[in-house]
Structure 1
Amino acid sequence: MSKSKDAQASRAVLDYLNKQNRPYSAIDICNNLHKEHGKTAIVKACEVLTEEGKIKEKINGKQKCYFADQSQFPEVDDSEIKEMDVKIIKLSELVQSKQEENKKLETELRILNSSISTEDAQKELHSLNEECKNCKEKLASLKGGAVQISPAEKDRIYKMREKFVKEWRKRKRLTNDVLGAILEGYPKTKKQLYEDVGIETDEDLHVTVPEI
């Protein structure tokens, strides 16, 4: 490796350790520098910088870690450390608050994305009005004594209803089995799981499986 590349690796290691001011292994440094320099170059740079006294080395068994020379930094008194600890606590609370707020917003966004648009709602309303109109006309015709359906058609409809109700029950049972298996290892409540996944139950829509 050229002296120029060695110097670049050493400068990168020194700048990184001084900026982070915490211990790292050579492999960690290599990964954190996004492998801009090879592992061999980083290891060599750490050894050279240690020999030159620009960084410090600590050996724990076979593991070596490197950190910035603390003599170059100004001393920090206890009161300043306490202020920093308080600031860390406040910032941690703020992060948690923002995460919870973000989670609520994501839930609202998911609900909005799954909601029908105004244009589609207007089309559906028009379709339902037409359907309602047709039903009223059919009702009026039935009240007038007109025969609208044959016994064979009636029997076919009842069989279809029975088939669909059975399928409804089957799918609900399978879904509940799957969700039950998930909940065995899920760290939150059943309600929270449904919210996270975006599941709407029959109960949420105030419907029940019909009797056959």
Structure 2
Amino acid sequence: MSDKTTSGIFKYLFDQNRPYSVTDIHMNLHKEYGKTAIQKSLDTLVEERKVLEKVYGKQKVYVVNQELHPKVEESELRSMDARIAQLTSELTGEGLALREAEGKLKALASSLTSAQAKQALVECEDDIREKTEKLSQLKKSSGNVTADDRRRVQDQHRKSLGEWRKRKRITNDIVDAIMEGYPKKKKDLYEEVGLETDQDVGVTLPS
């Protein structure tokens, strides 16, 4: 066994982030490594706490230690998403109001007398100027959330959702594997190991 083999096995488990048996790894990597080399690499990684080993009957399953993946603060992402949504809504509303005022100005100018049109023009120009200034202030107030910041948050949000789905899938895979030899109901297993579902804590996985 070489360090290259061990690093290759670890990279595969880290990137996939789901449980696999030795046979799974052997087949998924197109038999690049022999089963004996894979097992020795996994034993080394387990000793180093980079990989966790789960035993279900006669089968052993290996999954990367989740502590090695970066943690994401969901509260921070939700706060920034809410701020972005608020500013976007306000900008959209002010833009619509501005276009409405401009349309009103054109309609009035085409149907009123010259004196009336001039008066309406002054009023509409004041209205447009007021809304334009407000729109400008809103744009400035959103300066702390730049386009790059927004893209970064959205990318991080997608990554977080991906990690959530992966970890939920890992948990479900492990639970399903345990249930094959578990004499009680799944609910009893959850209570026994202290496992809470999304529904238990009132959380819904975003679409």
TM bucket (normalised to shorter chain) is 0.3 to 0.5
What TM-score results when the alignment is normalised by the length of structure 1?
0.34
Does 1 or 2 have the higher relative contact order (CA < 8 Å, sep 6+)?
2
Structure exhibiting the larger radius of gyration computed from Cα positions: 1
